[in-house]
Structure 1
Amino acid sequence: MSDSLRPLARPRLYEQVVARLREYVRTEGLRRGDRIPPERELAERLGVSRTSVRQAIVALEVQGLVEVRHGGGTYLLRDRLDAEPLEAMIDRRRRLPDVLDARDALETKLAALAAARRTDEDLARIDAALADMRDAVRRGELAVAEDERFHAAVTAAAHSPLLAEFMAEISLSIAESRTESLRQPGRPAQSLDQHGRIAEAVRAGDPEAAADAMHAHVESVGRVKLLQWQAGADD
């Protein structure tokens, strides 16, 4: 029998809470750094349980849209609450571990090769990307594009066409993991520091140190709230 008339999915209650919060932020003209109402007040005004409100806040926190300060309230990290669909979060959480495994295997080797094969031009490109990322972090940006340029410069410095081709094949998944990591509070500055260590090892011509620095960096990329998040059911 055709599956085209399967039952319609009912939006989870906390997804509706997220939608209401997005509308509230827009209509009230709230901006980055502003505090949203307390959990208890939101539950009362929306006519839902505190559990549903808490689930909504956690989903927004996982996406890097709000910061929960224990005992101090919840604050906006962006000017808008452009939350992604729940199913997209679930799908990305499922894929992320495999992407991180691939990045570790490929980029750790690429860093070692870059240390062994880099030219003066390669080092100049790595340094330029690092300088651009430093400027972006100082401006308070996530520095996603600058992060991408740094890794591209390291890949180019390895002078391994086949490994570069493998990286290109998973570039969209890598970009997804990059954004997921950099939107963690404090992560852009941390990533900048780790990139500096990778660059130092490549410049020194030390493949082992470069591989170790890249491995540590990719491990850090994997420390994201999404992997601890669970999509809860409505109570």
Structure 2
Amino acid sequence: MNAYKKPEVVHLARIEKKKLYEEIADVISDNIRKGQLKEGERLPSIQSLAAEYGVGQASIREAMNALRVMGLVDIRHGEGTFIKSNQPKAFTAEMAVFKRQDIVELLEVRKIIEVGAVRIAAVKRTPEQLKTIESALESMRLAIEENELGEKSDLDFHMAIAEAANNNLLKKLLSDVSDVMKTAMKETRKIWLYNKAKTIEKLYHEHLEIYEAIADKNPDAAISHMTAHLDEVEDVLVSHLSID
């Protein structure tokens, strides 16, 4: 049997917005991806993990269940919990709560709102609003240089386009789903990093094309690039987050 490698300690003081089980599941999933926990390896008991992390057993059980949903572990009653794969269906516990239909519906809403928003923004945007979009794009580029995911900059970019459409209702509609969007953007970027066939640079280039169409006040090109971008996001997320 492989020797169990103790995972990194969870610093409870850092846990603010996330629930305990999400933080624990994320740490363990990171260790699996890094190869610190190998496929087929058995994890310690619920009681041992609870003592190790300094949390209740209920939090460990929830974390294990989230990892099971992600496809990372196999829970065998009477035997224990075993590492199943280092290629998860979902990369974080945050996304484990979403079903495939949730993701499909989110992307449908994004297409309806954002394709319309980018068309209007390409016509109505002001120089100041264009500068805000450009600033978000630049933050995205800097995030790449710092090996960061850049999901905040990604969300800022799309929200800036909604702002540039100069339609308060449209902006509110996008804002209403912004939290879920940010989580989905984070997952998309992690998948892009994990899959060598795709790169964060490619994702950045898609945003650059959208920006250039808005800068040129070309609504047809803006629609085309935004649609292509969202189609690509849908392909990445739905194919990797194969949650029933």
Aligned with 1:84 (options 71, 74, 93): 93
- Extract unaligned runs of 5+ from structure 1: 1-19, 65-82
Aligned with 1:101 (options 85, 97, 108): 108
Shift of residue 178, structure 1, vs aligned partner: 1.6
Q: Deviations over 1:183-205 (max 9, x none)?
A: 21335322211110000000111
Contact kept, 8 Å, 2:90 with 2:241, in 1: the verdict is no
TM alignment of 1:181-200, pairs within 5 A? 181-186=188-193, 187-200=199-212
Aligned residue pairs total: 184
2:156 matches 1:152: no
Aligned with 2:8 (options 12, 17, 26): 26
TM alignment of 1:41-80, pairs within 5 A? 42=41, 52=74, 53=82, 55-58=84-87, 61-64=88-91
- Extract unaligned runs of 5+ from structure 2: 10-27, 45-72, 75-81, 194-198
Cα distance in 2 for residues equivalent to 1:126 and 1:176: 20
Shift of residue 226, structure 1, vs aligned partner: 5.7
Q: Deviations over 1:213-233 (max 9, x none)?
A: 11111112223356445569x
Contact kept, 8 Å, 1:62 with 1:225, in 2: the verdict is no
Letter paired with 1:112: R
State TM-score, norm by structure 2.
0.64
The change in CA–CA distance for 1:229 and 1:191 in structure 2 (over 3 A counts) is: closer
SS in 1 for 2:207: helix
Structure with larger RCO (C-alpha < 8 A, sep 6+): 1
In terms of mean alpha carbon deviation, does 161-170 or 112-121 score higher? 161-170
SS in 2 for 1:136: helix
Please name the residue that 1:71 is paired with. none
Contact kept, 8 Å, 1:181 with 1:222, in 2: the verdict is no
Shift of residue 122, structure 1, vs aligned partner: 1.1
Cα distance in 1 for residues equivalent to 2:34 and 2:184: 28
2:167 matches 1:138: no
Cα distance in 2 for residues equivalent to 1:56 and 1:24: 18
Shift of residue 108, structure 1, vs aligned partner: 0.7
Shift of residue 152, structure 1, vs aligned partner: 1.4
State TM-score, norm by structure 1.
0.66
Cα distance in 1 for residues equivalent to 2:126 and 2:241: 43
Contact kept, 8 Å, 1:62 with 1:226, in 2: the verdict is no
Q: Deviations over 1:64-104 (max 9, x none)?
A: 3xxxxxxxxxxxxxxxxxx528xx61534331100000001
In terms of mean alpha carbon deviation, does 111-120 or 90-99 score higher? 90-99
- Aligned-pair identity (%): 23
Letter paired with 2:130: L
Shift of residue 105, structure 1, vs aligned partner: 0.9
Contact kept, 8 Å, 1:133 with 1:146, in 2: the verdict is yes
The change in CA–CA distance for 1:39 and 1:105 in structure 2 (over 3 A counts) is: same
Contact kept, 8 Å, 2:37 with 2:83, in 1: the verdict is no
Contact kept, 8 Å, 2:155 with 2:181, in 1: the verdict is no
2:231 matches 1:204: no
2:117 matches 1:110: yes
Letter paired with 1:57: N
In terms of mean alpha carbon deviation, does 177-186 or 145-154 score higher? 177-186
